[in-house]
Amino acid sequence: MQVIKVPGINGLGKTVGCEKAGNKVISALSDIRANESGKKIEKEGLDLEEIHLDNSNLELTNKLIYENSFEGFGRQDKIIFLGGDHSISYSIVKAFKDYFDEDGKKPFLAVFDAHPDLMPALKEPTHEEWLRKLIEDGFPRENIILVSVRNSYEDELNFIRENGIAVVDMKTLNEDVEGVCDMIMEKARSADEFYISVDIDCLDSAYAPATGYSEPGGMTTRQLIYMIQRLKLLKNFKAADIVEVNPDKQGGEMTVKTAAKILAELI
């Protein structure tokens, strides 16, 4: 398994600071001796890389993320990407789809996020638009599930309805987290390759305050870890990202530690 730092940001100035998260999260891994399955965590032994980016040139940034991700999928059995804000997921997941498309394989995407990120997209999609742009570029909408969404624009709600995108709200998740996880696993198994995208704001702001758009009423850290621990066991699980951690914001240390914990459970 490889861990790749992707310090990309495109949040129209609202996500400045997220580019520092990768280094901070890797540093915080030093405090984790082993994950909950008993696997020893050795920061020095990680297969660690970074995509070096110039966030003032978004077209080049997206090109570099896409090309490096595409190459990585051909080289590695599993990859964890550390953002950056959620805009990086557009180029990574597009590369994921395109790489496996060459073999006729069907992708599945589970997104843990307080927001659907389905606003009408700019040419270089921001962290609020990346998923809509990905769908418009051909990712199969029936193979996407959104988990923990609890604050959406009207345009996004309309897009969800018109495109039949599966959404698990917090009320449903809270009532039956095991059943929700069973359902996601069943859907993911029906595809060939499985990708998990974790926006740290899927968590309640009490657990992860240092993010661009923290939202109350979200998942507990325990709920997310439970789901990650099960989902990563699927044989077709190939990649994940952890995004929107902003060490510069209040509560940065706790949020970074939470991201490091999630990373440890994915390793």
Give CA–CA dist 4/48, Å, rounded: 6
- Average of per-residue pLDDT across 96-116: 95
**What pLDDT is recorded for position 25?**
97
Sheet containing strand 193-199, edge to edge, reads 47-50, 2-6, 79-83, 237-243, 193-199, 107-112, 144-149, 166-169
Give CA–CA dist 61/217, Å, rounded: 34
Both tokens of residue 257? 């530690």
Task: Please tell me which of 122-126, 133-137, 213-217 the model is most confident about, judged by mean pLDDT.
Answer: 133-137
- Average of per-residue pLDDT across 34-45: 89
Direct distance between the N- and C-terminal alpha carbons of the chain, in angstroms, rounded to an integer: 7
**What pLDDT is recorded for position 100?**
93
**What pLDDT is recorded for position 237?**
97
Question: pTM of the full predicted structure?
Answer: 0.96
Give CA–CA dist 183/216, Å, rounded: 25
How many CB atoms neighbour CB 61 within 10 A? 24
Domains located in the chain, CATH noted: 2-266 (3.40.800.10)
Both tokens of residue 220? 């507990």
**What pLDDT is recorded for position 196?**
98
Both tokens of residue 2? 């490889």
Cα 67 to Cα 20, 87, 95, 129: the distances in Å are 22, 15, 7, 21
Q: Categorize the per-residue pLDDT at 66 as very low, low, confident or very high, splitting at 50, 70 and 90.
A: very high
24-28, 98-102, 133-137: least confident range: 98-102
Above 90 in pLDDT, residue 45? Answer: no
CB of 39 closer than 8 Å to CB of 114:
no
Q: Categorize the per-residue pLDDT at 219 as very low, low, confident or very high, splitting at 50, 70 and 90.
A: very high
**What pLDDT is recorded for position 12?**
86
Would you give the DSSP letter of residue 213? Answer: T
Above 90 in pLDDT, residue 20? Answer: yes
Q: Categorize the per-residue pLDDT at 115 as very low, low, confident or very high, splitting at 50, 70 and 90.
A: very high
Above 90 in pLDDT, residue 43? Answer: no
Give CA–CA dist 221/104, Å, rounded: 36
Average pLDDT taken over every residue of the chain: 96
Q: Which amino acid does the sequence have at 243? A: V
**What pLDDT is recorded for position 46?**
86
Q: Which amino acid does the sequence have at 149? A: V
Q: Categorize the per-residue pLDDT at 215 as very low, low, confident or very high, splitting at 50, 70 and 90.
A: very high
Give CA–CA dist 105/67, Å, rounded: 19
Q: Which amino acid does the sequence have at 49? A: E
Whether the upstream peptide bond of residue 22 has omega within 30° of 0, thus cis, is no
